[in-house]
Amino acid sequence: MTTTLPSASGAAAVRQPRTRVRSLIRAIPLAPAIILMLVFLLGPIVWALYGSLTNTALSGPNAANPQFVGLDNYRQLFTSPTFPLSVVLTLIFVVASAVVGQNGLGLGAALLLRRASKPVRLIVGLVFVGAWVLPEVVAAFAAYAFFHNTGTLNALLAGIGITGPNWLYTYPMVAVILANIWRGSTFSMLVYSAALNEIPDEIKESASIDGAGGFAMFRLITLPMIRRAMAANLLLTTLLTMSVFALIYIMTAGGPGFDSTTLPLLAYQEAFKFSRVGYGTTVAVVLLAIGAVFSVIYVRLLKPEVDI
């Protein structure tokens, strides 16, 4: 690994041995992280990747004698009737709840909070944080009770004379998307608040003196200045949302039918309900691939601004 000091210039050849040693020393702080991740994450991930090429099972004869099956699992997955649906549902879930929902609500809340009065800021902030820190199982239950046919939402709607639909049955994806936005927006809000804080007021002042109104200010000044944070947050929330499992599982169990079985749920069902661990990791590999595609899209799209 070669590194250069900000002020380094010329005479690189002379400095090679020292630079190399210095590079290694500079990399030492990375060591504990690398070791932990290598041992506990990389190893198992590689095993799982290999496992997707076998018919390993948790029970039954394939547990005693797992066989290498090559790409059979993949073939079976791509021709199974539930797979395309699962992929589409996952994409819908991720785009709607993370890209649009959490980022939109988070940014909106961050912008509004800056101009709110102090007591409002305190209380609203506390409520937001409350939704964020609720453990996933508790949040999932609260959301289940909220969207249930006889739950809070329909009770409120009945109060104003509307008969609400059976959300979890008729619009399961809407329910889980809203629940995920409820749970995750606060994190985006914190990120955007920090980013907004960093915009120097001088710039905003001079823009407003130049006649920039609210929306123009936002579009021409604010947005570009938080682009880095936005790109990073989009990537992060997208990847995190891809692996959401417990929230959906507790709310709808993937149903009705398979109407809310996203890829993590499909992987869980195959690996643990049917004991087909090899096949389950096949689904997980597909999930990783989709994550990779998203990552590449973000990096390509926002590359000049993303500064790493």
Partner 1 sequence: MVIEERTRPVERVIPPESPAPQVRDRVASPSRRVDAVIVNTVLVLVAAVFLLPMVWLVLSAFDPAATLVLHLPEGLSIGNFRDVLNVDQTFRPLWNSALLSFGTGILTLAVGVLAAYPLSRYQSRFNKPFLYTVIFGTCLPITAIMVPVYALFVSLNLVDSTIGTILFLSASSLPIAIWMAKNFMDSIPVSLEEAAWVDGASAFRTLRVIVLPLMKPGLAVVFLYTFIGAWGNFFVPFVLLLDPAKQPAAVAIYSFFGQHGSVDYGPLAAFSLVYSLPVIVLYIAVQRLMGGSGALAGAIKG
Partner 2 sequence: MRSHSQRLTAVLAGVAVLALAGCSSAQSGESDQTTLKVVYLIEGDASPLDAVMQQAKAEYEEANPEVTVDLQPLKSSADDYFTKLALMNRSEATAPDVIYEDSFQVKSDAAAGYLAPLDDRLAAWEDWGQFVDAAKAAGEGVDGNIYAVSLGTDTQGLWYNKDVFEAAGIPLPFEPESWDDLLDAAEKIKANVPDVYPWEIYAGIQLAEAGTMRGFQTFLSGTDDSLFNEETGKWVVNSQGFEDTLELISTVYGEGYSPEASIALDPALTQTVWGTWLPEGKVGMVVDGSWLPSGWADTGATPFPEWTEKIGWAAIPTQDGGGAGTTSMSGGWTVAMGSKTKHPDEAFDFITTLLSEQNALKFAVEGTQIAVRDDVAAEPDYTGANPTVPFFTDQVDVTHFRPATPDYPQISQQIAIATEAVVNGTSPADAAKAYDQAVIGIVGEDNTESGR
- Contacting partner 2 within 262-301 (CB under 8 A): 272-275
How does 113-151 read in b/e, with b if 16+ C-beta sit within 10 Å?
beeeeeeeeeeebeebeeebebeeeebbebbbebbbeeb
Residue 219 near residue 193, CB atoms below 8 Å = no
Which of 37, 41, 46, 58 is close enough to bind partner 2 by CB under 8 A? 58
Q: Is 86 in the site for partner 2 (CB under 8 A)?
A: no
Nearest Cα neighbor of 256 from 122, 85, 127 is 85
Residues 143-172 that bind partner 2 (CB under 8 A): 149, 166, 168-170
Of 46 and 71, the one with the shorter C-beta distance to partner 1 is: 46
Q: How far apart are CA 210 and CA 191, in angstroms?
A: 29
Q: Is 170 in the site for partner 1 (CB under 8 A)?
A: no
Q: Is 224 in the site for partner 1 (CB under 8 A)?
A: no
Q: Is 258 in the site for partner 2 (CB under 8 A)?
A: yes
How does 292-306 read in b/e, with b if 16+ C-beta sit within 10 Å?
eebeeebeeebeeeb
Q: Which does 75 bind (CB under 5 to 8 A by kind): partner 1, partner 2, none?
A: none
Q: Is 255 in the site for partner 2 (CB under 8 A)?
A: yes
- Which residue stretch of 52-60, 98-106, 112-120, 193-201 sits at the interface with partner 2 (rule: CB under 8 A)? 52-60
Q: Is 64 in the site for partner 2 (CB under 8 A)?
A: yes
Q: Is 64 in the site for partner 1 (CB under 8 A)?
A: no
Residue 261 near residue 89, CB atoms below 8 Å = yes
Of 111 and 246, the one with the shorter C-beta distance to partner 2 is: 246
SS3 68: strand
Of 80 and 208, the one with the shorter C-beta distance to partner 1 is: 208
Q: What are phi and psi of 90, to 5 degrees?
A: -60, -45
Residues pairing with 54 in the sheet = 68
Q: Which does 78 bind (CB under 5 to 8 A by kind): partner 1, partner 2, none?
A: none
Q: Is 62 in the site for partner 2 (CB under 8 A)?
A: yes
Q: Is 61 in the site for partner 2 (CB under 8 A)?
A: yes
Nearest Cα neighbor of 181 from 132, 239, 230 is 132
Which of 74, 169, 171, 187 is close enough to bind partner 1 by CB under 8 A? 187
* Minimum gap (Å) between residue 25 Cβ and partner 1: 9
- Which residue stretch of 13-21, 51-59, 128-136, 189-197 sits at the interface with partner 2 (rule: CB under 8 A)? 51-59
Q: What are phi and psi of 68, to 5 degrees?
A: -75, 125
Nearest Cα neighbor of 90 from 254, 228, 219 is 254
Q: What are phi and psi of 304, to 5 degrees?
A: -60, -30
SS3 135: coil
- Which residue stretch of 69-77, 80-88, 164-172, 274-282 sits at the interface with partner 1 (rule: CB under 8 A)? 274-282
Residue ranges that bind partner 2, judged by CB under 8 A: 28-29, 31-32, 57-64, 149, 166, 168-170, 252-258, 272-275
